[in-house]
Amino acid sequence: MRSREEMVSLVIKRAAVFCLPSVLLAVLGLSGCKTAPPPDPQSQLIAKGRDIFFNETFAGNGRTCGTCHPAENNFTIDPAFIAALPKDNPLFVAEFNPALKENFENPALMREFGLIQENLDGFDDLKNKFVMRGVPHVLGLRTSVASPGGPRTGWSGDGAPGDGSLRSFGVGAVIQHFTKTLNRVPGIDFRLPTEDELDALEAFQLSLGRQQDLVLPLRLKGTVPKRGQAIFLDNSLGKCNLCHVNAGATANFGGGSLGNANFNTGVEDLPDQPARLTTQTVPRDDGFHTPGDGTFNVPPLVEAADSGPFFHNNAIETIEGAVAFYDGDAFNSSPAGLALKQADPRGVGIELDGTQIVAIAAFLRVINTLENIRQSIMLLESSLSVSSPEERKRLLQRAAAETGDSIRVLEGGGLHPDAVAHLRDARRMAEKAVRSVFFNRKHTEAAIRDQKKARAVLVD
Amino acid sequence: MNVMKFVVGVVGMSALLVGGQPPASAQKMTEQFIPIGQSPGLSGKATVIGKLQSVNTPQKTCVIAGPTGALNVTVTEQTKIWLDRSKLQQPNLKGTFADLRPGATVEVKPEGQQRGVASAAAEWIKVQAASP
């Protein structure tokens, strides 16, 4: 028989044995929580813009900006992403809304090639006057919209109504893509964004992706990507850097930056364009202006490798194919190709062999991966300072998705398997952080370390 | 020497391409569906909203009584004219010069980024459709 004192002592010991780990876990868990500072006005505006971008339908057919620019797919859509969407996704509104069945979208071309219907030359003959375009991502807009002649938005640079600015772009998008019927009556078929909403949408879009251009050359470690960079920068061989300075979206032919410029590179003259191999009607896209002058604006290349298919008509699926386009007849016979030829002392446009094409593509794959790593680290670090579990989860999932892109982009070019291994570890840690209640900080920090290891494999 | 030739060539190409560059432009076609006074970044800044005072059909000109005075407008082949029927809850339509009638409320976007000018060619004109 134990005495009362022994019993009390035993109870206390047992309680200590059972409770101590819980207390320690709680302390550990709480140590991961920091009180986030109150958001500044710009952050609040961006957050408001994000909410509008992904959730606001503007009283239209159910689409949001995020329908075609989903964050989880690099703010663009492609056939693989589209194939995974449920049938009732508002992207497919032409398939289930009778008022939009004809002359609003072409579901066959949307599903097979990721193409969207646009009436850039007017709405007076919807059956015959339209173009079919891919969805450009909206990353790095801060570096790619400005031009001395004014802002350039969309594939041909004239995507926005009003003053043509990125801020005004949303108004045109709502009218073109969000309408309930083809009458397009404001207040009935949709509502137009308010001034405040346009401010917020602009702030959010400008916050996405890179805020500045790279400064090339980078000290790349891989033999082939390094050679690809050299060809890219060689104004007598690759000539890429003339129109894509620092792999961005601005041109400079030696007389200073032209900002984001428009060129006719002959993409519309490509033979065997996928959409035109079908029985569907695909009118010629005349680009900038009405009637168009055949030019399209320069997209940034840092984001290219994981955001294909490529060009305004999704004509080419792979980054290698996109580089090879500039070695072909369509480009070298185009106004831009002929101008390059004219400027060349040997009178040649762009002539590359297979190894050189692959080397440039390898370079583009590596700089895309470096950008994905940068974004992933930023997302992971941000997740450490947010107090909302939902927001933390969102950031971690985005980081895991970006890391997945990095893995695919490197593997697709047979590049840097050692970096891929680190990236796989990083993704696993990010996914564990999503699931973990008490150790998300530890896993997140491990993911950041793995991202940095991968980066160190790619560049000095 | 080759390098020099290349530089000269590239600078020449730059001049050629830049010289041939059209100015940045808004997407005029969705503008058709934006009601008078709501064009983003333009209304109240680079457009004039007022009543049509007079119309000269042979010369394809008209005079708008704007908030800061009269604006003489020339309608060119490039000028877009739209009928704004949004107040009638009807779809906006493409219009013609014949839709410009004295007394109608209009919004005029002068070509370029002109502001406060007394006369200008119109890039587009929106005409408020009258109630039936």
pLDDT tens-place string over residues A244-279: 999 999 999 999 999 999 999 999 999 999 999 999
Cβ atoms A258, B14 nearer than 8 A: yes
A185 vs A208: CA distance, rounded Å: 31
In this predicted structure, the answer to whether residue B49 has a pLDDT above a threshold of 80 is yes
Query: Is A187 in CB contact (< 8 Å) with chain B?
Result: yes
A250 vs B contacts (CB less than 8 Å): none
Looking at residue B20, what is its pLDDT?
Answer: 45
Once rounded to an integer, what is the mean pLDDT over residues A380-384? 97
> CA-CA distance, A129 to A103, in Å (whole number)?
10
The residue ranges of every structural domain in chain A are 41-206, 232-355, 366-458
pLDDT tens per residue, range A325-344: 999 999 999 999 999 999 99
Q: Of A164, A133, A412, A157, whose CA–CA distance to A267 is shortest? A: A133
**Of A458, A456, A460, A454, nearest in space to A376 by CA:** A454
Do A265 and A331 meet the contact criterion of CB atoms below 8 Å apart?
Answer: yes
- pLDDT band for position A290 (50/70/90)? confident
The CATH number assigned to the domain with range A366-458 reads 1.20.120
Q: Which residues of A touch B45 (CB under 8 A)?
A: 163
For range B95-121, the mean pLDDT? 91
Single-letter amino acid, residue B87: K
3-state SS, residue A310: strand
Question: Could you confirm whether domain B26-128 is CATH 2.40.50.320?
Answer: yes
Cis peptide before A291 (omega within 30 of 0): yes
Tokens (6 digits) for A293:
């002058």
Judging contacts by C-beta atoms under 8 Å, the chain A residues touching residue B89 are 185, 187-188
Partner A contacted by B6 (CB < 8 A): yes
Strands B69-74 and B119-128: parallel
Average pLDDT over residues B54-78: 96
Is the pLDDT score of B85 beyond 80? Answer: yes
First to last CA, chain B: 75
Orientation angle between helical segments A354-384 and A417-435, nearest 10 degrees: 30
Pick from A167, A293, A342: which is nearest to B22 by CB?
Answer: A293
Cα separation of A165 and A152, whole Å?
Answer: 7
Lowest mean pLDDT of A17-26, A200-209, B60-69, name the range: A17-26
The answer to whether the CB atoms of B9 and A192 lie below 8 A apart is no
A433 and A396 Cβ atoms separated by less than 8 Å: yes
Do A383 and A433 meet the contact criterion of CB atoms below 8 Å apart?
Answer: yes
CA dihedral sign, ordered A335, A338, A343, A348: positive
Give the pLDDT confidence score for residue B72 in this predicted structure.
96
pLDDT tens readout for residues A163-196? 999 999 999 999 999 999 999 999 999 999 999 9
Closest to A421 (Cα-Cα) out of A460, A379, A456? A456
Structure confidence at residue B27 as a pLDDT band (50, 70, 90): low
Kindly report the pTM of this predicted structure.
Answer: 0.90
Span A209-227, mean pLDDT? Answer: 98
Say yes or no to pLDDT of A291 above 60. yes
> A114-146 pLDDT, tens per residue?
999 999 999 999 999 999 999 999 999 999 999
Tell me the pLDDT of chain A averaged across its residues: 93
CA nearest A268: which of A239, A289, A237, A295?
A295
Does B16 have pLDDT greater than 50? no
Q: Which residue bears the tokens 């926005």?
A: A160
Q: Read off the pLDDT of each residue in A339-352 and give the average, rounded to a whole number.
A: 96
Contact between B16 and A254 under an 8 Å Cβ cutoff? The reply is no
| Distance, CA of A379 to CA of A176 (rounded, Å) | 33
Q: Which of A150, A167, A345 sits opposite B5 (nearest CB)?
A: A345
Whole-complex ipTM: 0.88
Chain-centroid distance of CA A419 in Å reads 22
Q: Which residue of B lies nearest to A340 if distances are taken between CA atoms? A: B13
Average pLDDT, stretch A375-394? Answer: 96
- Chosen for mutation from B8, B11, B29, B93 (greatest number of chain A CBs closer than 10 Å) is B29
Chains A & B: contacts with CB separation below 8 Å: 153
Rounded Cα gap, residues A410 and A362, in angstroms: 8
Q: In chain B, whose CA is at the least distance from the CA of A145?
A: B24
pLDDT of residue A389 exceeding 90, the answer is yes
Whether A161 has its CB under 8 Å from any CB of chain B: the answer is: yes
Residue A276 phi, psi (nearest 5): -85, -5
Which of the two residues, A282 and A8, has the higher pLDDT score? A282
pLDDT in tens, A401-411: 999 999 999 99
B24 falls in which pLDDT band (50, 70, 90)? very low
Please, are residues B123 and B46 in contact by the beta-carbon 8 Å criterion? Answer: no
Average pLDDT for chain B: 84
Q: Which two tokens stand for residue A48?
A: 């408001």
**What is the Cα–Cα distance from B10 to A242, expressed in whole angstroms?**
9
- Say which residue, A423 or A22, is predicted with more confidence: A423
Residue A289 is which amino acid? H
**CB neighbourhood size of A6 (10 A):** 10
Percentage of chain A modeled with pLDDT above 70: 92
pLDDT of residue A5: 58
Query: For residue A272, what pLDDT is reported?
Result: 97
CA distances from A309 to A80, A107, A158 (A): 11, 17, 21
The predicted pLDDT at position B13 comes to 53
Q: How far is A367 from chain B (nearest CA, A)?
A: 26
**What is the C-alpha end-to-end distance of chain A, expressed in Å?**
73
A213 against A16, higher pLDDT: A213
pLDDT at residue B19, as a whole number:
42
Cβ–Cβ < 8 Å for A423, A396: no
pLDDT band at B116 (very low <50, low <70, confident <90, very high): confident
Q: Which of A220, A263, A229, A259 is nearest to A349 (CA)?
A: A263
Q: Does A60 touch chain B (CB under 8 A)?
A: no
pLDDT tens-digit profile of A66-105?
999 999 999 999 999 999 999 999 999 999 999 999 999 9
Q: Is residue B25's pLDDT more than 80?
A: no
Q: Which of residues 94-113 of B touch A (CB under 8 A)?
A: 94
